[in-house]
Amino acid sequence: MPTPTELRLNRADRVLHVRFDSGEHFALPAEYLRVESPSAEVQGHGPGQRVTVPGRRHVGIMRVEPVGNYAVRLVFDDLHDTGIYSWDYLHRLGSEQAERWAAYEQALAAQGLSRDPPSRTG
């Protein structure tokens, strides 16, 4: 299993840069990390329970907190903080980014949802 040698959060660009000991480097947008959260809130508690999370185009990461020597907890500015991102999961998110993002956009379209947050009127 590849292990990160560097985790660097660029708050302005809302991107988490992860470099692995395999030499691979991934630039993971906060929105992508948020909608692919490993939390039960997103993944569900069993097969077929995954939730498509809309409206997170502008989400940012407030903190990256270590969890032992195997993972990090990401605290997003929408206050989501229950996902534990293992090194293996971060590597998979990087390796499968194009396919996962395309599937996410297809799921949004199929459900009539948007990456943009709901507009506030009033």
Query: Phi and psi (nearest 5°) for 64?
Result: -120, 115
Question: Which of the listed CATH numbers 3.40.50.620, 3.30.2020.30, 1.20.1250.20, 3.40.50.10800 matches domain 4-110?
Answer: 3.30.2020.30
What pLDDT is stored for residue 121 in this prediction? 64
User: What pTM does this model have?
Assistant: 0.94
Domain ranges, ordered by start, for the chain: 4-110
What pLDDT is stored for residue 41 in this prediction? 87
81, burial (CB in 10 Å: exposed 0-12, middle 13-18, buried 19+): middle
Measuring CA to CA, how many Å separate 72 from each of 80, 100, 122?
Answer: 14, 20, 39
Tens digit of pLDDT at every position of the chain (122 positions): 899 999 999 999 999 999 999 999 999 999 999 999 999 889 988 878 889 999 999 999 999 999 999 999 999 999 999 999 999 999 999 999 999 999 999 999 999 999 998 877 65
What pLDDT is stored for residue 115 in this prediction? 97
What pLDDT is stored for residue 113 in this prediction? 96
